[in-house]
């Protein structure tokens, strides 16, 4: 398949292509792969907006459409997807195309990983968050009783196709949510990237700049993924902000206005940056910079709805832990992270107070 090479990043054995008006590349990829059939998985909102464009390049594809939202990322929906694939006579040579945000990418990836012991899939991420983080890297999952990503697999896509034009219809709150993961990528690996991203304004960001930003994030992510595909070591660094983040996200799912994933990660990054001040030598000055960056992107600094005891209870169940010991990813400074850190419980509690 011919993809302009300047727009391609090599991930762990597959391409991530980013650009504008590049859905046609999916048609070329599907034709080249000689798949027995193609099934599109999408949510109602995204399919209404972009389903016709995808059907245009994949005219024979069948579609499975689910309601939007994190609440759908569960075993019930997954079973419905598998049943529908089976009814559509999907076989081992079927291609699954995930068209949507991180929910569709995560759940579709997992659906592909286990259907007939594994079929090929392509990711067409349509939120900023999924374009910079959730679509590539091979982590696929669904939630279990509201707990994040408990059932899943490491399973790589065959292609990730990122068209920034779809971001034009993305609600501002969803765009802000994506910036949380972008800031995270800078914080853990690249101070310059962090400072550039921290200063950006969302309004009228030219597509070329957006493409560069998305490629920058994927480049940072790919370095960790290539080092450690199954997260036994350094890949854990990509989880910065996600221990506290997943806990507040899980708690918020029971409320009328759940946090978006990026909002929860922003809160988690603030608390874990505070923990880094207490445990890993991050300076107060850099901590303040991190809070300003989060604020600049319209992301929350506080989540008063959560009870401290409930958050602390949830982090002990986090799948990143070993036994009862909580392992943290912390920052020595902006651009330098460490992982598998054990922390003093009093400091953990004090860090959490920063966001409550």
The binding site for ligand NAD (CB under 6 A) comprises: 43, 45-46, 49, 68-70, 73, 100-104, 106, 126-127, 129-130, 133-134, 137, 139, 148-149, 166, 169-170, 174, 177, 260-261
| CA-angle at 259, arms to 121 and 182, nearest 5° | 60
Write down the least CB distance from residue 135 to ligand NAD, Å.
8
Residue of 70, 174, 181, 286 marked catalytic: 181
**Based on CB atoms, which residue is closest to ligand NAD, 127 or 276?**
127
341 catalytic? Reply is no
Neighbours of 348 (CB within 10 A): 23
**CA 332 – CA 5 distance, rounded (Å):** 36
246 catalytic? Reply is yes
139 catalytic? Reply is yes
261 catalytic? Reply is yes
- Residue 74 Ramachandran class (φ > 0 left, ψ -120 to 50 alpha, else beta): beta
**CA 226 – CA 230 distance, rounded (Å):** 10
Write down the least CB distance from residue 44 to ligand NAD, Å.
7
353 catalytic? Reply is no
87 catalytic? Reply is no
**Based on CB atoms, which residue is closest to ligand NAD, 49 or 147?**
49
Residue of 73, 84, 189, 242 marked catalytic: 242
Residue of 84, 246, 274, 289 marked catalytic: 246
**Based on CB atoms, which residue is closest to ligand NAD, 149 or 222?**
149
Reduced to 3 states (helix: H, G, I; strand: E, B; else coil), residue 319 is coil
221 catalytic? Reply is yes
Question: What are 43's strand-pairing partners?
Answer: 66
Running DSSP on this structure, what letter comes out for residue 259?
P
**Token code pair at residue 90:** 């999907």
**Based on CB atoms, which residue is closest to ligand NAD, 137 or 216?**
137
Reduced to 3 states (helix: H, G, I; strand: E, B; else coil), residue 336 is strand
């Amino acid at each position: 398949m011919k993809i302009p090479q300047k727009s391609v990043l090599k991930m762990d054995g597959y391409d991530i292509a980013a650009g504008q008006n590049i859905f046609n590349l999916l048609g070329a990829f599907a034709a080249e792969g000689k798949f027995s059939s193609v099934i599109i998985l999408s949510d109602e909102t995204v399919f209404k907006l972009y389903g016709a464009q995808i059907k245009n390049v994949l005219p024979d594809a069948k579609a499975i459409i689910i309601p939007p939202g994190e609440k759908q990322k569960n075993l019930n929906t997954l079973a419905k997807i598998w049943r529908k694939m089976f009814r559509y006579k999907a076989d081992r040579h079927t291609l699954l195309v995930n068209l949507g945000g991180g929910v569709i990418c995560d759940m579709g990836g997992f659906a592909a990983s286990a259907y007939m012991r594994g079929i090929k899939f392509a990711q067409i991420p349509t939120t900023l968050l999924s374009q910079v983080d959730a679509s590539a890297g091979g982590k696929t999952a669904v939630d279990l009783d509201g707990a994040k990503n408990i059932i899943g697999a490491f399973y790589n896509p065959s292609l990730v196709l990122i068209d920034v034009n779809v971001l034009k219809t993305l609600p501002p709150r969803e765009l802000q949510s994506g910036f949380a993961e972008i800031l995270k990528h800078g914080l853990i690996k690249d101070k310059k990237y962090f400072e550039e991203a921290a200063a950006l304004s969302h309004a009228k960001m030219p597509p070329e700049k957006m493409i560069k930003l998305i490629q920058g994030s994927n480049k940072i992510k790919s370095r960790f993924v290539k080092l450690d595909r199954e997260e036994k070591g350094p890949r854990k660094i990509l989880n910065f902000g996600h221990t506290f983040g997943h806990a507040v996200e899980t708690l918020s799912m029971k409320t009328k206005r759940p946090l978006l994933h990026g909002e929860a990660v922003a809160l988690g990054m603030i608390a874990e940056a505070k923990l880094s001040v207490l445990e890993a030598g991050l300076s107060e000055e850099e901590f303040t910079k991190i809070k300003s960056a989060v604020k600049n992107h319209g992301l929350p600094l506080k989540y008063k709805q959560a009870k401290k005891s409930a958050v602390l209870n949830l982090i002990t169940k986090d799948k990143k832990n070993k036994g009862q010991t909580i392992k943290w990813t912390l920052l020595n400074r902006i651009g330098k992270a460490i992982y598998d850190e054990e922390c003093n419980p009093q400091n953990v509690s004090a860090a959490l107070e920063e966001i409550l």
